Amino acid sequence: MSTKGTLVVIGGPTASGKTHVAAALGKHFGTEVISADSRQFYRHMRIGTARPAEDELLGVPHHFLGHLAIEETWSAGAFARAAEPVLQRILAEHGIAVLVGGSGLYIDALLKGLDPLPAGQTDLRERLQEKFKLIGLESLLEQLQHLDPPTYERIDRNNPHRVIRALEICLATGRPYSEQRTTPKDRDDVRIIRVAMDLPRTGLYERIDARVDQMMVDGLLEEARALFSFRDHNALRTVGYTELFAHFDGQLELEAAVALIKQHTRNYAKRQMTWLRRDNDWRPMAPANTAEMIAAIEALRAS
């Protein structure tokens, strides 16, 4: 058996069941879970981010759920720096940890480190942010598509913060962001086992639609209305809130806003699946088959 600690990484698109799987694995192995879902970092965004309720966590300690205020901004680097000592403590105490999330950038930040990209250009970023406020995200996306088509295809196109950062790097360096990204190797101080939630796209999209309907029943409209005054903060420039804010502004009927939430969530899930397929180290497994996952993980730990 390897003397290294084991980090089990549960990845998958939104609504794929990865949160339940991570909690079930954490309970079985008697360990703790680190969440790398950037949408779930914010304490006042519960329904709109599908943050799990306490009973869904199965009594397993989870880290980085609802720990930030709306006004705070976190990057993948900030997450990795905060998560590292937590990971080391879990490994020292339990020998195994679980990392779960659908955000490839945040997972990679902890598993591989970050590319040495240029520091932020404050003036340039402020100009891009002002452009976003004046004429919207679509213009920034067109600019990014012109300057860097690969990044345009990969990036979360409903996340202004990431779009602005990618444009900032392109404009500050005069080179596409995608050309400056490397493919760093996994860290070698821990054994990494990647498990990808695998379910048919049709079934996933049905789950997404059903989840959005349930979020509306649970009070997403009221939650978004309570957060409306914070709409300019990066945390709220995301699917589920931006569409309802447009409804409050009179730009969309409620039914159309809900339909757009479903559509934009499906688009986001498609990009998450594309990210998972780029790396052959992911082991696709059905989210319902936790017994198979446990057996595979135990065999790998024993090898």
Q: Give the CA-trace dihedral at 293, 299, 302, 303, to 10 degrees.
A: -120
pLDDT for 182: 64
| pTM exceeds 0.85 for this model | no
Q: What digits encode the pLDDT tens for the residues 180-193?
A: 766 578 899 999 99
Tens of pLDDT, residue by residue, the chain (303 residues): 457 899 999 999 999 999 999 999 999 999 999 999 988 999 999 999 999 999 999 999 999 999 999 999 888 888 999 999 999 999 999 999 999 998 788 998 899 876 556 665 678 888 998 899 888 889 999 999 999 998 898 888 888 888 988 898 899 888 888 887 665 788 999 999 999 999 999 999 999 999 999 999 999 999 999 999 999 888 898 999 999 999 999 999 999 999 999 999 999 999 899 888 888 899 999 998 899 999 999 998 888
Cα separation values, 246 from 30, 136, 157, 285, Å? 44, 12, 17, 38
Interaxial angle between packed helices 290-302 and 18-29, expressed in degrees from 0 to 180 and rounded to the nearest 10: 50
Q: Where in the chain is the domain with CATH 3.40.50.300?
A: 5-115+182-302
Q: Give the whole-angstrom CA distance, residue 266 versus residue 18.
A: 16
Its CATH architecture, for the domain 5-115+182-302, is 3-Layer(aba) Sandwich (3.40)
Q: Measured in Å, how far apart are the chain's first and last C-alpha atoms?
A: 5
Say if CB 25 and CB 98 are below 8 A apart. Answer: yes
pLDDT for 142: 93
Q: How many CB atoms are closer than 10 A to CB 160?
A: 21
Instruction: State residue 99 phi and psi, 5-degree precision.
Output: -115, 130
The DSSP result for 87-108, as a single string, is HHHHHHHHSEEEEEES-HHHHH
Q: Where in the chain is the domain with CATH 1.10.20.140?
A: 122-180
Class of domain 122-180: mainly alpha
pLDDT for 121: 66
Average pLDDT, the chain: 91
- Apex 188 CA angle, 2 and 155, nearest 5: 130
